[in-house]
């Protein structure tokens, strides 16, 4: 048996001495431990407080999203009313943005169309509940890292929310709010109420493909898109046709097979590549479909819009409304626009342009016409040019030409009356005369009439008297006069007022509409009004009306040229 080892116990005195020695030995160590304990407590409290704040912010943000998100109703996906443009008397000129839509059920869609859509826009559509977290994270990191091909994070359901209920805002705090509103609506409103098949129905039955028809009717929904491009129902689409339509869906104007066939074809091939990647088609099917160019798929373009006799008028009004208000009448239904155009005046212009009222020498001769109201400055009629085609160059409003002798009242005689207190009876001398550099100018008849009053010099369009009037006025005053008539550097260039302007040599010229508006100031007793083409816009659903208010600029003495006012003889 082994002998037990006897334990030697320390006495109380020895223990106290040991503690005292240890205390003397490491006082800094105890301070360090105490400090670490305080730091640990501080960090723990900080993390707890930050966690509470973060949770509070998250909850508050979530509640904000819930309470501010719009209510989802399927009816809001489809406009029920067209936008209407009226003549100045209230009669209808055209309907714009009315949806040429035929709704189809899920069963009507061919499988290749559904497969193309899911493969391109939302590959896990049938697996998620409206929000694809994995795709969202990947896209977010990709965009943060600056990869342009990272793609978006919106599911098909979120796209429905974005396109029809929230907005297209993509940056800043507004973009963040919009994105999370789309997530909430997709998960808790749309996916909770509708099946996956119904959501695909909504997606494919909405969306704009093109604007066609003589009254700007838009092509909306995949059925009408199929009819417009292929002349067949959506249920009869082939694989390459389905891929083309899906490829166009988010940017139909940029991928139009008529305007940008190569871009459209490349996009179609991208869709086919995605279908192969996700296992919907074989490699051979992909290659066969990619070998077919979109130009051989689509039918000839419908140019019936060009046959509308009021096409140029409609386009001008649409552009002005969008520029002033942001409302796109081609794509937004539900507005009534009272235009300033008079149908009788416009018909006279149309008859002039189409040869019914005037026999043109040949097909090369062109016209540009603009008529504005003497009373209020509104546009009453325009002639965009002979043989005008849809979305063409409007010769009345957008093409400038040198004005020739029509500029003389505006740049010569008007400023002379305005600033030099001249009158229509001012004496001018029609003799050999020229520019300051010594070069002479001629009249149209190469003759001289001697002494004559301003009124007669103007009526006979004498060049020499016009230049004499020009020379008598400070060029800066002429510039001021022109600016008051909305004729600025865009018309006469950055070099300022030059002598050649006196007889119509403006470098950039005037449009007929600019000329008409300027002449209106003379007929209006000196008041200039910027031309406008509509008086009111009414929201058909709410009946809210926004009226256009024109402004007058007083340019008083210009009235001398066209009136017998007493001050003209001063």
Domain ranges of the chain: 49-77+119-196, 207-308, 404-569
Fold of 404-569: Beta-lactamase (3.40.710)
CB 496 within 8 A of CB 351: no
Residue 245 · residue 113 · CB < 8 Å? yes
Strand partners, 451: 429
Across-strand partners of 67?
Answer: none
Is 404-569 the same fold as 207-308? no
In this structure, the number of other CB atoms found within 10 A of the CB of residue 15 comes to 11
Q: How far is the C-alpha of 408 from the C-alpha of 501, rounded, in Å?
A: 9
Strand partners, 453: 427
Long-range interactions of 547-555: CB distance < 8 A, separation 24+: 548/324, 550/376, 550/377, 550/378, 552/527, 552/528, 553/484, 553/521, 553/527, 553/528, 553/529, 554/526, 554/527, 555/418, 555/481, 555/484, 555/485, 555/521, 555/526, 555/527, 555/528
The predicted pLDDT at position 410 comes to 95
Could you tell me which of 301, 297, 312, 260 has the C-alpha nearest to residue 93? Answer: 312
Q: At what angle do helices 283-290 and 261-277 cross, to 10 degrees?
A: 180
3-state secondary structure of 461: coil
Element (H, E) at 313: helix 311-325
Please tell me the number of Cα atoms within 13 Å of 175 on its side-chain side: 7
What string of H, E and C letters represents the secondary structure of 514-555? HHHHHHHHHHCCCEEECCECEEEEEECCCCCEEECCCCEEEC
For residue 130, the model assigns a pLDDT of 81
State the Cα–Cα distance between residues 8 and 373, nearest whole angstrom.
122
Q: What is the DSSP string of 68-82?
A: HSPPP-GGGGS--S-
Rounded CA-CA distance 319/396 in Å is 14
Q: What separation in angstroms does the CA of 77 have from each of 109, 203, 221, 337?
A: 19, 9, 11, 23
Beta strand spans in 77-165 (E):
83-86, 92-96, 99-100
How far apart CA 119 and CA 124 sit, in angstroms, is: 8
Q: Six-digit token pair at 18?
A: 């040991």
Task: Print pLDDT tens along the chain (570 aa).
Answer: 555 555 555 566 666 666 566 555 555 666 666 667 677 777 888 888 888 887 877 787 667 677 677 777 776 676 656 788 999 999 999 877 656 677 899 999 999 999 999 999 999 999 998 888 777 776 666 555 555 444 456 899 888 888 777 766 666 677 788 778 888 888 888 898 899 999 999 999 887 787 644 445 667 889 989 999 999 999 999 999 999 999 998 889 889 999 999 999 999 999 999 999 999 999 999 999 999 999 999 999 865 544 678 989 999 999 999 999 988 887 677 899 999 999 999 999 999 999 899 999 998 899 999 999 999 999 999 999 998 877 788 999 999 999 999 999 999 999 999 999 999 999 999 999 999 999 999 999 999 999 999 999 999 999 999 999 999 999 999 999 999 999 988 888 888 899 999 999 988 999 999 999 999 999 988 899 999 999 999 998 889 999 999 998 775 444 444 433 333 433
The two structure tokens encoding residue 350: 């149309």
Picking from 430, 457, 459, the residue whose alpha carbon sits closest to that of residue 446 is 430
376 contacts 88 by C-beta, under 8 angstroms: no
Length of the chain: 570
Q: Does domain 207-308 have CATH number 1.10.3810.10?
A: yes
Cβ–Cβ under 8 Å, residues 569 and 423: yes
Q: Check residue 337 and report its DSSP letter.
A: E
CB 209 within 8 Å of CB 248: yes
Asked if residues 317 and 330 have their Cβ atoms less than 8 Å apart, the reply is: no
Task: State the first-to-last Cα distance of the chain, in angstroms, to the nearest integer.
Answer: 148
């Amino acid at each position: 048996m082994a002998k037990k080892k006897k334990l030697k116990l320390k006495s109380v005195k020895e223990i106290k001495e040991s503690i005292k020695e240890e205390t003397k030995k490491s006082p800094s160590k105890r301070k360090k431990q105490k400090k670490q304990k305080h730091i640990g407590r501080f960090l723990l409290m900080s993390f707890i407080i930050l966690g509470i704040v973060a949770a509070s912010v998250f909850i508050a943000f979530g509640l904000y999203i819930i309470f501010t998100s719009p209510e989802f109703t399927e009816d809001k996906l489809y406009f029920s009313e067209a936008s209407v443009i009226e003549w100045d008397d209230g009669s209808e000129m055209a309907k714009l943005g009315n949806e040429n839509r035929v709704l189809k059920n899920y069963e009507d869609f061919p499988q290749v169309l559904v497969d193309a859509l899911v493969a391109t826009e939302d590959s896990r559509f049938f697996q998620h509940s409206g929000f694809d977290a994995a795709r969202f994270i990947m896209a977010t990191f990709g965009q943060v890292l600056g990869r342009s091909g990272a793609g978006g994070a919106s599911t098909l359901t979120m796209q429905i929310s974005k396109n029809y209920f929230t907005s297209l805002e993509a940056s800043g705090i507004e973009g963040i709010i919009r994105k999370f509103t789309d997530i909430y609506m997709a998960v808790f409103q749309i996916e909770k109420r509708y099946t996956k098949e119904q959501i695909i129905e909504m997606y494919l039955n909405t969306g704009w493909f093109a604007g066609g028809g003589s009254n700007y009717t838009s092509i909306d929904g995949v059925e009408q898109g199929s009819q417009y491009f292929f002349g067949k129902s959506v249920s009869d689409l082939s694989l390459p046709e389905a891929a083309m339509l899906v490829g166009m869906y988010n940017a139909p104007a940029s991928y139009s097979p008529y305007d940008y066939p190569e871009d459209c074809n490349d996009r179609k091939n991208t869709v086919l590549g995605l279908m192969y990647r996700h296992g919907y088609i074989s490699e051979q099917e992909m290659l066969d479909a990619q070998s077919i160019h979109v130009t051989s798929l689509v039918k000839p373009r419908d140019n019936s819009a060009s046959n509308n006799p009021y096409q140029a008028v409609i386009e001008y009004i649409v552009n002005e409304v969008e520029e002033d208000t942001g409302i796109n009448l081609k794509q937004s239904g539900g507005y009534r626009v009272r235009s300033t155009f008079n149908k009788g005046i416009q018909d006279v212009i149309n008859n002039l342009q189409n040869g019914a009222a005037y026999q043109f020498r040949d097909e090369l001769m062109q016209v540009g016409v603009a008529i504005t109201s003497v009373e209020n400055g509104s546009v009453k009629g325009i002639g965009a040019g002979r043989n005008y085609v849809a979305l063409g160059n409007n010769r009345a409003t957008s093409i400038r030409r040198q004005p020739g002798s029509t500029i003389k009242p505006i740049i010569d005689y008007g400023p002379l009356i305005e600033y030099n207190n001249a009158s229509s009876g001012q004496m001018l001398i029609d003799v050999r005369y020229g520019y300051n550099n010594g070069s002479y100018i001629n009249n149209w008849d190469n003759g001289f009439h001697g002494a004559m009053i301003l009124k007669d010099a103007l009526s006979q369009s004498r060049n020499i008297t016009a230049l004499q009037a020009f020379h008598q006025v400070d060029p800066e005053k002429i510039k001021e006069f022109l600016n008051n008539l909305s004729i600025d550097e865009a018309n006469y260039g950055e070099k300022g007022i030059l002598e050649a302007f006196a007889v119509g040599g403006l470098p950039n010229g005037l449009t007929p509409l600019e000329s008409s508006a300027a002449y209106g100031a003379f007929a209006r007793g000196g008041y200039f009004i910027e031309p406008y083409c509509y008086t009111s816009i009414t929201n058909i659903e709410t009946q809210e009306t926004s009226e256009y208010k024109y402004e007058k600029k007083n340019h008083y003495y210009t009235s001398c040229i066209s009136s017998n006012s007493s001050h003209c003889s001063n």
